[in-house]
Structure 1
């Protein structure tokens, strides 16, 4: 377990370095925003395209895998929603809290970290989790918030959700990579070196940007944010483990990667959505801060546990 912790520690040290730079104002909010944009639109997209271009759709898509992850995540989503509603929160707040409970930082932490710690074969299942998160749950929160405000679901909302997916660089890069693979096109050496060079900036850039963005977040509403962090770091991977291993009998290696991915801390885009719709942004912010700090230990423990499954 100590060996796993030491392997994951450099990733979190990069986050800590970014946090220190942001906290001391050496790295401003504007600089963090531009670095995040570079990673999101260029470096991470190059990494995803290269990975996808060397895979086939058959290697990525597994019906049992998708159902196992979707069912487990839906259960945790429902629990977090029910707890919020019983506490007297409205549908909008409940939707944000449920999002915190199931959406992990798969793009910025999961893909670079798990591909290094669990091998490049982990990329396919991680990308499948990322696709489900983006297509299903990121769409669901928009539908719930806008639907509860308008009292009904308008076609314009669905159109907006669809356009948002089509414009998401992570979805686009995965689809283009799979299309390239499906056409059986070789990647020219110059293009391959370009993608490797640009994609290589994704891991340090993403982790540093996460840390710098955490520096501006506050830990308010600790009881609720702590509960949501427990949901994300413990309840979510636990539910995924039961679903993948006992109910759907997913391949042990793919199940291990799925569980490790589910153990990742709350994603930063949850805060972006909460801030955009002005629904509990401080709660989302605190959940990201608490879960990312605790993940230094919990992610190591989960990866150490799942490594015995394959």
Structure 2
């Protein structure tokens, strides 16, 4: 267990440094937003492209991984939506946001740095890319479509399919999706970038982990624990416990998967929700609740991820 804490503690120490730097005025929250855009627009696409383009298409287009991550994510998302809507009495837009909270991970900012220390940067990049395909093409569009099916403005029931189509079209402009497609193309054609461009991509990619963790810490400053505590606890447990458990169970039923990719799928599913979670919820007036859920889940993940890694060591025989 001490070895596992040696892996996870540096991640959260960097997050703490980011929090303290913003809390004490060394950086403003606007500064961290700029850093976050740099990571999302340049660093993460660079590391995704590098991870995919340097491996064979057979290695990166992994059907069992995609199926397991998709079924696990959709399963917990729909389950949370149904529970929040029928048992807790929330309107569908808020129920859909809770479903998004348990199914879309912070893969790039927290997941990738942890995976890099557990299975190495090459396989971590492949796992990141595959998980982000499901998060961006399945989990997020599903939640937005369901939210609009409830009609946050009284007219959404007739246009959920339009929202889904608009979301999917918008993803084609997303640098991370472009990087995934380009990486698949290079892997399929078995071509490599010239050495000078390859080194440039590598330099940009290596900045992703530390800057992303610093940004996460800074983004937590000012968040307040508002909203309903029981619902916050439900989302936190759903994200940190049920999501990785669901992905693990589906993987158990599918044909054997590379042990490192199996670890990647379960670990990424066990990450806190994506950092833009409260931003997505603004349209449905749920940003306060979602910000509180993000704060609680991110803090609690230090313990849950350490236990998750310890559990995989005990069950799968993974050695840190």
Shift of the 90–297 alpha-carbon distance from structure 1 to 2, 3 Å rule, reads same
Which residues of 2 match residues 160-199 of structure 1 at below 5 A?
Answer: 160-199=166-205
Structure 1 CA distance, aligned partners of 2:244 and 2:162? 35
TM-score under structure 1 length normalisation: 0.93
Q: Which residue is 1:123 aligned to? A: 125
Structure 2 CA distance, aligned partners of 1:45 and 1:117? 21
Structure 1, unmatched stretches of 5+, are: none
SS of equivalent to 1:163: helix
Structure 2, unmatched stretches of 5+, are: none
Q: Which runs of 4+ in 1 moved over 6 A?
A: none
Shift of the 272–57 alpha-carbon distance from structure 1 to 2, 3 Å rule, reads farther
- In the TM superposition, residue 154 of structure 1 has moved relative to its aligned partner by 6.1
* Aligned 8 A contact 2:50 2:183 in 1: yes
Structure 2 CA distance, aligned partners of 1:253 and 1:29? 36
Which residues of 2 match residues 41-190 of structure 1 at below 5 A?
Answer: 41-85=41-85, 86-119=87-120, 120-149=122-151, 150-153=156-159, 156-190=162-196
Structure 2 CA distance, aligned partners of 1:11 and 1:87? 35
- In the TM superposition, residue 249 of structure 1 has moved relative to its aligned partner by 4.1
- In the TM superposition, residue 217 of structure 1 has moved relative to its aligned partner by 1.7
- In the TM superposition, residue 56 of structure 1 has moved relative to its aligned partner by 3.1
Deviations 1:55-77 (A, max 9, x none): 23321222222222222222211
Shift of the 273–287 alpha-carbon distance from structure 1 to 2, 3 Å rule, reads same
* Aligned 8 A contact 2:146 2:160 in 1: no
Deviations 1:251-304 (A, max 9, x none): 2432222111111111112222112x1331111111111111111121122122
TM-score under structure 2 length normalisation: 0.90
SS of equivalent to 1:128: helix
Q: Tell me if 1:212 matches 2:218.
A: yes
Q: Tell me if 1:279 matches 2:280.
A: no
Shift of the 60–184 alpha-carbon distance from structure 1 to 2, 3 Å rule, reads closer
SS of equivalent to 1:264: coil
Structure 2 CA distance, aligned partners of 1:160 and 1:125? 27
Q: Which residue is 2:16 aligned to? A: 16
Structure 2 CA distance, aligned partners of 1:159 and 1:260? 30
Task: Please provide the CA RMSD for this pair.
Answer: 1.8
* Aligned 8 A contact 2:94 2:284 in 1: no
Structure 1 CA distance, aligned partners of 2:133 and 2:56? 15
SS of equivalent to 1:89: coil
Structure 1 CA distance, aligned partners of 2:234 and 2:186? 43
SS of equivalent to 2:276: helix
How many correspondences in the alignment? 308
Structure 1 CA distance, aligned partners of 2:292 and 2:284? 15
Q: Which residue is 1:37 aligned to? A: 37
